[in-house]
Structure 1
Amino acid sequence: MLSDVEAPKNLRGDTRLKFIESTSALMVEMGSTDVTLLQIAARSGLNSALIKYHFGNKDGLLTAVALHASEKNMEALSELVEAKISPSKKMEIHLTGLMHLYWRHPYINVLCQYILRRGEEKYRQEIEKKIMQPFIQFQNVIIRQGIESGEFRNVDPEMTFYIMRGACDSLIDASQQMGNAYRVRGMSQTERLEYTHEVVNMLLYGISNNRP
């Protein structure tokens, strides 16, 4: 049997993706980013020594998980900024996408903050460059477009960013704390969509310049 180093490039890519997906699934199931290499190896069915080959170390793997989880959202947000639709509609689509990201990957913000605070410099730079900076920049462009068009109040883009992110964090925190008693964790897909719609409407109302 070929070693991972000797394996074809596409097989090495499959192995790398399997580690990323296994780590993501574990963090969702455990409700925590505190997963061990042994747990990841057991879940993936691969040797934990391969993590060093593919990612350098555990922080490298966690960085790859964060980048993989947010990749499609970042691409969509980049395209959304240039879309020929109103700033209000752009913000609605953006916030809905952000909520769905948190539903699928509830660990995303905690994981990014862990890497930014405790990770090696090269991993911190990756998170800053590929997630945090473009996210803030794209969202700020939409907010400025809304202010210039008269659809949004003259809100502080940076403050708005923290409020919106906090709303998503609070949702995930509540789902983990309240559990089935308040039917947040056990929501059906339809209920999640309704919940997302309500949160997005509240956030949009907060920055709207057309409130009664």
Structure 2
Amino acid sequence: MTAKAAKRRGDERTASAAALLNATAELLSEATNIDVSLNEISQRASVNSAMIKYYFGNKEGLLLALLERDAETAMASLKALSDMDMPAQKKLKIHINGIINAYYKSPYINRLIHYMVESGSPEASRRVAQIFIEPMIEVYRDMVAQGVREGVLKDVDPGLLYYCLVGAADHIFHAGYSVPATLGIERLDDGIKQRYAELVCDIYLRGLAP
């Protein structure tokens, strides 16, 4: 096989793996749980289902790869925010808006994290904690410490702050079935998402003030 042919074959494999990840993300975003079959994924991706085993080993491997892809972008952005030279309150406001935007675009993320931690293998559970939970706790620790130094935030436990913020950011999307009853609309839209983000920011920035 020539180098050019080998590169083309490698590009095709990369494209197929990416198509499977994209199809999984789409189906999970449309569903209310993570019970999406491999057949549905392969059909959506227009890729033979045998390729899932080839690229990812099994369904758990596919789901973990999806989380790793999402985490790479999200955690890099969060770390960059943490390292910026700006007041802690502004960082926190940007983060709250960012996490709500992330769940709006990919509502499956927190459901999938819970599933992998609770039902996945011990190795998968540890990996999810390593790529999502631990980096967020570390950034929250830094933000709180900075806010305390600046006199604008209470000295709260970063772990408890994690539960507060992630819970608030996720629940409106996790409980999308209740939107017709609570908000009188069929589904969440960008306007409602933005209003919700502003409300959560106001509640937490006021509540965390010393």
Fold in common (TM above 0.5):
yes
Aligned match of 2:156:
155
SS in 2 for 1:147: helix
Contact 2:42–2:49, Cα closer than 8 Å, also in 1: yes
- 2:134 is the counterpart of 1:144: no
TM-fit CA distance, 1:103: 0.6
Residues 179 and 55 (structure 1 numbering): CA distance in 2 closer, same or farther, change over 3 Å?
Answer: farther
- 1:41-91 superposed Cα distances (whole Å, 9 cap, x missing partner): 111111111001111110010111122223322111111111010000011
Mark the runs of 5 or more structure 2 residues left unpaired by the alignment: 1-5
| Aligned pairs (5 A) from 1:4-153 | 8-153=9-154
Identity of counterpart residues, as a percentage? 28
Residues matched between the structures, number: 205
Contact 2:79–2:139, Cα closer than 8 Å, also in 1: yes
Q: CA RMSD in A?
A: 2.0
Using the size of structure 1 for normalisation, the TM-score is 0.88
Contact 2:100–2:170, Cα closer than 8 Å, also in 1: no
Structure 1 CA distance, aligned partners of 2:71 and 2:7? Answer: 30
Residues 70 and 183 (structure 1 numbering): CA distance in 2 closer, same or farther, change over 3 Å?
Answer: farther
- 1:154-191 superposed Cα distances (whole Å, 9 cap, x missing partner): 22221111111111232123322233762566233233
Structure 1 CA distance, aligned partners of 2:121 and 2:151? Answer: 43
- 1:141-164 superposed Cα distances (whole Å, 9 cap, x missing partner): 111111122110122221111111
Deviates more, 1:29-38 or 1:61-70: 61-70
Contact 1:140–1:157, Cα closer than 8 Å, also in 2: yes
Contact 1:175–1:184, Cα closer than 8 Å, also in 2: no
Deviates more, 1:92-101 or 1:126-135: 126-135
Structure 2 CA distance, aligned partners of 1:10 and 1:158? Answer: 41
Contact 1:146–1:152, Cα closer than 8 Å, also in 2: yes
Residues 122 and 20 (structure 1 numbering): CA distance in 2 closer, same or farther, change over 3 Å?
Answer: same
SS in 2 for 1:8: helix
Aligned match of 1:187:
188
Contact 1:22–1:44, Cα closer than 8 Å, also in 2: yes
Residues 60 and 183 (structure 1 numbering): CA distance in 2 closer, same or farther, change over 3 Å?
Answer: farther
Contact 1:180–1:186, Cα closer than 8 Å, also in 2: no
TM-fit CA distance, 1:205: 1.5
SS in 1 for 2:175: helix
Q: Which amino acid aligns with 1:20?
A: L
Deviates more, 1:120-129 or 1:109-118: 120-129
Aligned match of 2:177:
176
TM-fit CA distance, 1:194: 2.2
Task: Please identify runs of 4+ aligned residues in structure 1 that moved more than 4 A.
Answer: none
TM-fit CA distance, 1:126: 2.2
Structure 2 CA distance, aligned partners of 1:191 and 1:178? Answer: 11
Residues 54 and 183 (structure 1 numbering): CA distance in 2 closer, same or farther, change over 3 Å?
Answer: farther
TM-fit CA distance, 1:138: 1.1
TM-fit CA distance, 1:17: 0.9
